[in-house]
Amino acid sequence: MKFEGKVAIITGASRGIGKALALRLASEGAAVVVAAKTAEPHPTLPGTIHDVVREIVAIGGRAIAVQVDVRDEQQIENMVSETLRAFGRVDIMLNNAGALFLEPVENTPAKKFDLVMGVNARAAFLCSRACIKPMREVGGGHIIMMSPPMSDKGVGKTAYALSKFGMTFIAQSLAEEVRADNISVNALWPVTAVDSQATRTFWPGMESEMRTPDVLVDATVCILQKSASELTGQALYDEDVLRANGMTDFSKYSLVPGSSPSAFSKDLMK
């Protein structure tokens, strides 16, 4: 029970990676706030925040569902207020909600630019900001952005890249602002595509190149076990985190048994 007594907020937690994170942290003793837009069944996308809460309760965990559109500042503030009312503290903020749009600049309407910036960089900023005071009051905490290390070369997909690198910049900059408060802030990214609804939508038929969400979940757990004095302000790849914790065989994460996923997305899914 690594996180007994801790409280975690996870955005984008109604399905995919966010759901896997919620179930794992709950199984390790954390009280979990399952935060996402989907409160009612979607005709094409499986899972709601309430479904995930029911699964957590079924394994003996504690959780609440909070519907939130991370583009809305007031809804984010309400998400944190609901967390404090239910559990009295905030220890972990996982900025997992994300929007994908992988087109070149000339094919990117302003509306799509605003979408990826709002759901990715702006939301990560606002969610993190809302958690600083509650974390300080309990002696520290962890904030993780699901975003990649910064690149010193062009990567294409400009709007999406800017939004994701923006999340990483927030992590590295905010880490210095809250270091004295024992709040750790890091970014985490997979070296190869992780199975999710978005991945299957944008890269259909590439299951052999995918890993299960467990690879990111295990890496997240490793990061959350480090203090701010040990690890903060870093942009990390999942494999590097796991290697540093003694793992050498990643085959168990292959979505298709026997396949060997390559570093498909290490350069921001080029």
Which residues are annotated as catalytic?
160
DSSP line for the chain: -TTTT-EEEEETTTSHHHHHHHHHHHHTT-EEEEEES--S--SSS---HHHHHHHHHHTT-EEEEEE--TT-HHHHHHHHHHHHHHHS---EEEE---------GGG--HHHHHHHIIIIIIHHHHHHHHHHHHHHHTT-EEEEEE-PPP-SS--S-HHHHHHHHHHHHHHHHHHHHHGGGTEEEEEEE-SS-B-SHHHHHHSTT-GGG-B-THHHHHHHHHHHTS-TTTS-S-EEEHHHHHHHTT----GGGBSSTT----SSSTTT--
